[in-house]
Amino acid sequence: MLLTGQGTWRRGAAAWRRWRKGRPFWGGLAAVVAGAEICAIPLAPLKVMLQQGIAGIPSVLMGLVMILMGLSAWFAPHYRGLAGVLTVLVSAAALVMSNLGGFLFGTIVGILGGGMIFAWQPRPLPELGADGAEAEAEPSGSGPAPSGSGPAPSPPRPRG
């Protein structure tokens, strides 16, 4: 196993999976893609850019803000509320200010990504028992109590 590198690949894949699940990865990816698309349209060839003039600057700035919010969702997930709201607001503003928000693709993907960033919640860590192992969840219901955990339940009383 040491010579084939199989263990290294598995450890790397497991570390990637843990990192990805510990943050709003898909929402951040959607925000980065939407920001790159909104940012790239005004960066057309020079001949087209000269015709567009100063109107291309807000498009580039909005795209950069969306990319920054997507990256902050990845690397600082505790700011997910701010990043999600700003991504949605900038995406909606890009609809008016930037070539229909990147020909609607950037706006739609940005709004979806911002919503995913805002809605993401971290998973609670499992509680550890006294021996350091994860505590088993006790089933809820009215089943018999385990022995030694207190008084036994009283039998039901007859009606009437």
pLDDT range class, residue 31, cuts 50, 70, 90: very high
Comparing C-alpha atoms, which of 77, 112, 76, 72 is closest to residue 91? Answer: 112
24's tokens: 């709003």
Two structure tokens written together for 75: 């690397």
Q: What is the DSSP letter of 2?
A: T
How high does pLDDT run on average in the chain? 80
- Which string of DSSP letters, residue by residue, matches 97-147? HSHHHHHTHHHHHHHHHHHHHHH--PPPPPPB-TTSSBPPPPPPSS-PPPT
Under the banding of pLDDT at 50, 70 and 90, the label for residue 122 is confident
Q: How far apart are CA 39 and CA 58, in angstroms?
A: 9
At 1, the pLDDT band (50, 70, 90 cuts) reads very low
SS3 at position 11: helix
| Between residues 80 and 151, the one the model is more confident about | 80
pTM above 0.75, yes or no: no
Cα dist. 152→3, 110, 142, 148 in Å? Answer: 59, 58, 12, 9
Tell which residue, 116, 56, 99, has the closest CA to residue 107: 99
Query: Given the structure tokens 């739609």, which residue do they identify?
Result: 108
Q: Using 50, 70 and 90 to split pLDDT, how confident is the model at 159? A: confident
